[in-house]
Amino acid sequence: MANWTNLHKLAASVSKEARQITRDREALLLLFAMPLLFVLIMSLAMRDAFREKGGVVLPIIVVDNDRSTVGSSIVDAFSALPAFKVDTAIEGGATDERSVRADVASGKHKFAVIIPEGTDKNARRRIQRQLRFVKGGTDGAPEIRLLADPAMRFDYRNLASTNLNRALQAIENRLLWEEFAALAGMKMTPERRQAAKEILTGNRPFAEVSAEDAAALGRKEAMPTAVQQSVPSWSLFGVFFLVIPLSVAFTKERQAGCLQRLRSMPTPLWVVMAGKAVSYFIINQIQFALMILMGIYAVPLLGGDRFAFGHAPLAVAMMSVAVSLAAVNYGLAAAAYCKTAEQATTFGGASVLIFGALGGIMVPKFLMPPVMQRLSAVSPMSWGLDGYLNIFVRNGTVRDILPQFAGLVCFAVISAAIAALKLRNIQK
Amino acid sequence: MNEAAVDITGLVKSYPGSESPAVAGIDLRVKAGAFFGLLGPNGAGKTTLISMMCGLLRPDAGSLRMAGMDIAARPNEVKQRIGVVPQDIALYPTLTARENLAYFGGMLGLSGARLRERVNWALETARLAQYAGVRVEVLSGGLKRRLSLVIGFIHEPEILLLDEPTVGIDPHSRLFIYESLRAMNAAGMTIIYTSHYMEEVEGLCREIAIIDQGRIIARGSLDDILAGGAGTGAVEIRSGEALPDGTLERITRLPGVRDVERSGKLLRLASDSPMDALPGVLALLRRDGVKVLSLSHGAANLEEVFLTLTGRGLRE
């Protein structure tokens, strides 16, 4: 009988919380609009950074002061790459180094290749000397320079310089072929020249190299796209962000004397706490579902990749439950220790941001130095993100998320115990 | 009606870091059906005592029985039989008046048709029926107080504990609260009412305890306490002219006169036995050629009783 009465009280508490939350516009914005926007924005903003073939197009200008086959070969080599858009003059037609440098410095072109006069002649001379086994031949040779936009990322700089070096290698190989042909008395007909160019411009190694994901169970369907990363990351952030409205609502309730009144009534403390926990848990599940739907339907509409839910719905459900329990109970613990709504906002917001930063939400963990990667182990968001990535990116199943699931549930239990101990002794 | 609604023995409660206990060994017995006033200045220990009586605080020592049950042993049963009206308004501002009543009624164990019936009764009793669907955040302070009050007895408790329930409200709402409490008491509910407003306690309570520094320094019926403090009754004499030199000093030396104050042509005597002291005072004034225009003798009030007992005012 007593149990039924408490269940009835629990239902009344959940209903009361739901009414309060749905009437708090600011809390609703914080709980739903903010994380949904984050998922949308980050999925779109990070899209190209995750695409295998690179959706990024880097404008590059090739200034050919030599007016030889070297310049045209470099232009051909970069034009063949989808990551680059090649121009041979800046806007207005200028090709002098000063104008080109200013153009790149302003970011209009991301790179400039400057080929000095005499490059082709120098290259041929060097090859002829090498074929006669004469050392040297490069002293005083003009340098081909690659200028980069100062704001250009290091990996894109590497991409440009690697492709430039490959193009130069191809040119050298072609010149060597021509010299060998001449030495062998072979006439270089236009057909042979074209064939040599086609063979060497491709410049493919003798065996193809391709990278593939080491996904669990040998499945390859999931791609590590921006949306696969952003949906779980920002879902976690949104779920944990409820610490703020929850702890603010709770501290206000205490300040108003409602908690004191409730404790003078024949209602166990666990009913009061569970009433909040269940309500916010339901909100978390709605948040998560909306963010998944956002990834599946809204992100593709705006040009992003479609979120792939994967093959382990039970694992997803387990992670979602564990993350919610951790977030809700952490919110209750924060509320128990904060005396005012201001304290709750500051502490709740700051702790969630720190958990997020450490947990790889804002900066992916693989970009962190080893010390920070080890430190990230203290953040429950890190466990949550690892669990979700195991499912959505690494194609994991229930077995693959058990450590993260257990960690989050333990965190939830400890947080709930801390909250209960503190609230039992609180007068107001 | 003779059994004790409240039976407290040797109750002690200290807060960490505090030099003296908030409640320092209180013994108190309140009969069922009483309208009992707990009077004391701010910080006297009233709220701590009430908090222990409603199970919010655990005593350091002593025993506390409410409605015949030990609250430490059977907290939920005691809580079911008491009602509490806290000092704070203690309502959910974004819920309506009806939703607040329904929620707290539910937490008090009411449900279904009974809950709906009691919510409607409470709205009628508090004269809040027209505000039933209005969010509490837009109600006036007085209306909120009324709502807070009826939540305290929506479940028809045997004992109602009120901790300064009229702080900061308008006279109209205060009157409403007084009327409601009288009606509840008349229906048999035991009421424990704390206040530092002596007028309230004088007007409402038939029995009173005065609490100061965690101890009960006087208790009994209102008449007993006022009679016990009759010595504090003041005699005021208004004269036609200023007192000649030495008259005031001579009055002070008269038997039965404890203290004399002069304010212009008004003479105020404090006497342990005004009726015995007065003939001598009047004879002395006549002898010194002082014409008496008026004379009044006021019975002691709780403020004066408290002043006599503690040497401090209730609002200090």
Beta bridge mates, A84:
A58
- Cβ proximity of A210 and A390 under 8 Å: no
- Cβ proximity of A285 and A320 under 8 Å: yes
pLDDT band at residue A51 using 50, 70 and 90 as cut-offs: low
- Cβ proximity of A26 and A287 under 8 Å: no
Question: Chain B contact for A253, CB < 8 A?
Answer: yes
> Both tokens of residue B72?
């430490």
For residue B49, the chain A residues in CB contact (below 8 A) are: none
Length of chain B equals 316
- Mark which residues 182-241 of A lie under 8 Å from B by CB: none
Predicted confidence (pLDDT) at residue A54 exceeds the cutoff of 60: no
% of chain A beyond a pLDDT of 70: 88
For residue B94, the chain A residues in CB contact (below 8 A) are: 19-20, 23-24
Predicted confidence (pLDDT) at residue A52 exceeds the cutoff of 60: no
Same fold, B4-226 and B234-297: no
The dotted CATH code for B234-297 is: 3.30.70.100
> Both tokens of residue A417?
């115990």
Pick the residue of B15, B48, B54, B107 with the most A CBs within 10 A to test the interface with A by mutation.
Answer: B107
Return contacts of B73-76, CB within 8 angstroms, 24+ apart: B75/A266, B76/A266, B76/A268
Of B51, B77, B94, the CB nearest to A24: B94
Least confident of B118-132, B237-251, B288-302: B288-302
Pairing of strands A84-87, A58-64: parallel
Chain B residue with Cα closest to A259? B90
pLDDT value, residue B27: 93
Chain B residue with Cα closest to A253? B92
SS3 B65: strand
Task: Map out the domains of chain B as residue ranges.
Answer: 4-226, 234-297
Angle at A84 between CA A80 and CA A89, to 5 degrees: 100
pLDDT band at residue A383 using 50, 70 and 90 as cut-offs: very high
Q: Which residues contact B77 (CB under 8 A, 6 or more apart)?
A: A266, B69
Tell me the pLDDT tens digit for each residue of B97-119: 999 999 999 999 999 999 999 99
pLDDT band at residue A35 using 50, 70 and 90 as cut-offs: confident
- What residue type is assigned to position A39 of the chain? V
Beta bridge mates, A145:
A114
Average pLDDT for chain A? 84
> Both tokens of residue A159?
């991409």
Contact B92 A265 (CB under 8 A): no
pLDDT value, residue B312: 65
Tell me the pLDDT tens digit for each residue of A280-336: 999 999 999 999 999 899 888 888 888 888 889 999 999 999 999 999 999 999 988
Residue in the structure block whose two tokens are 């599940």:
A285
> Both tokens of residue A406?
């257990």
For residue B82, the chain A residues in CB contact (below 8 A) are: 264
Contact B92 A24 (CB under 8 A): no
Tell me the pLDDT tens digit for each residue of B142-175: 899 999 999 999 999 999 999 888 887 888 888 8
B4-226 is classed CATH 3.40.47.10: no
Chain A residue with Cα closest to B51? A264
Cα–Cα dist B292/A205, whole Å: 129
